[in-house]
Amino acid sequence: MKDQVPAAMPQCFENWCRRFDDVFSRQKQRQEFRVYLGDCWVRVSAKPEPTGHKYSRWLLQQLRHFLNNAPWDEVKLNNRRLEVMHQCRQTTPSQGFTLIVDDSGHRKSGAATDGVGRQYIGEIGKTDNGIVLLTTYLYDGVRCLPLDVALYQHASLFEQGKADPNFQKKPDLALDLVDQCLKRGYRPGVTVIDAGYGNNTPFLKQLESRNLTYVAAIAKTAKLLLKHQVMSLLVSRD
């Protein structure tokens, strides 16, 4: 593995990876983290076309184990990433940033991956077999930085359906992501909500209870009550 991607990376790559070493309990995991991250970097930065690396079957098995079964905590890893992001001047969010709450669905075959099932898939605009993720991003006019992610588990994936205690609706997951942002001390100037939540009155009221100004799409038939002090900006769809 030492002859793979990390060996060809600049010293700054190794210096950055060391900030995450204590997140992993084993040296092998630290090395696999570097291999995976280095390959992602190479593929994104390659011009004009990403060439990637031809991995051996053994190495692919090791990386598959690292991503799916190795005993490291993805929440702890993400929290460390945000700590590192906040320490760097180029990636520290400026005051009054915009918090973007996004809901994205992608087609995926099979059923081995958590969250995969027949549900509405946004990228194709219809119900199909796929996976849905909710994400939050920080945008300050210059930088767009990923914050948190949550996997949506469709009710059909639970034995008791919507009555299952582990089932969470999308608006509830979105609100959890917003609360995670606030708990970190990030206070957005404006929160931009995925269009699918603009007509969810309880969700919007929860945002208002947190004193958040938001922008959301609503149905043309929605009835609005305008008060003297408007806390929310509602944008109607065309």
Burial of 71 (0-12, 13-18, 19+ CB in 10 A): exposed
Q: Does residue 37 sit within a domain?
A: yes
Give the three-class secondary structure for 97. coil
Q: Which of 72, 104, 131 is the last residue of a domain?
A: 72
Predicted local confidence at residue 54, as pLDDT:
56
Give the three-class secondary structure for 57. helix
| Domains held by the chain: number | 2
Q: Are residues 210 and 164 in the same domain?
A: yes
Q: Does residue 183 sit within a domain?
A: yes
Q: Are residues 66 and 98 in the same domain?
A: no
Q: Which domain holds residue 21?
A: 5-72
Q: Are residues 33 and 126 in the same domain?
A: no
Q: What share of the chain is helix, strand, coil (3-state, %, to 5)?
A: 40, 20, 40
Q: Which of 43, 72, 101 is the last residue of a domain?
A: 72
Burial of 186 (0-12, 13-18, 19+ CB in 10 A): middle
Distance CA 48, CA 237 (A): 38
Q: Which of 72, 107, 122 is the last residue of a domain?
A: 72
* pLDDT tens series, the chain, 238 aa: 444 556 667 888 899 999 999 999 999 999 999 988 887 777 666 555 544 455 567 777 888 888 888 899 999 999 999 999 888 888 887 888 999 999 988 888 877 778 888 888 878 888 888 999 999 999 988 888 999 999 999 888 888 889 999 999 999 999 999 999 999 888 999 999 988 888 898 999 999 999 999 998 887 777 777 664 444 444 444 4
Predicted TM-score of the model (pTM):
0.80
Q: Are residues 120 and 225 in the same domain?
A: yes
Q: Does residue 82 sit within a domain?
A: no
Residue 51: phi, psi to the nearest 5? -100, -30
Q: Are residues 61 and 151 in the same domain?
A: no
Q: Are residues 202 and 105 in the same domain?
A: yes
Predicted local confidence at residue 55, as pLDDT:
58
Instruction: Please give the structure tokens belonging to residue 138.
Output: 């920080």
C-beta contacts of 105-109 below 8 A and 24+ residues apart: 105/130, 105/131, 105/132, 105/133, 106/130, 106/131, 106/132, 106/133
Q: Provide the terminal-to-terminal Cα distance of the chain, rounded to the nearest Å.
A: 54
Q: Are residues 103 and 65 in the same domain?
A: no
Q: Does residue 78 sit within a domain?
A: no
Distance CA 164, CA 154 (A): 11
Q: Are residues 40 and 99 in the same domain?
A: no
Q: Does residue 79 sit within a domain?
A: no
Q: Are residues 68 and 97 in the same domain?
A: no
Predicted local confidence at residue 206, as pLDDT:
95
Q: Are residues 225 and 193 in the same domain?
A: yes
Q: Does residue 88 sit within a domain?
A: no
Instruction: Please give the structure tokens belonging to residue 193.
Output: 């909500």
Q: Return the amino acid letter for 215.
A: V
Predicted local confidence at residue 229, as pLDDT:
47
Q: Are residues 203 and 110 in the same domain?
A: yes
Q: Are residues 106 and 57 in the same domain?
A: no
Q: Does residue 83 sit within a domain?
A: no
Q: Does residue 124 sit within a domain?
A: yes
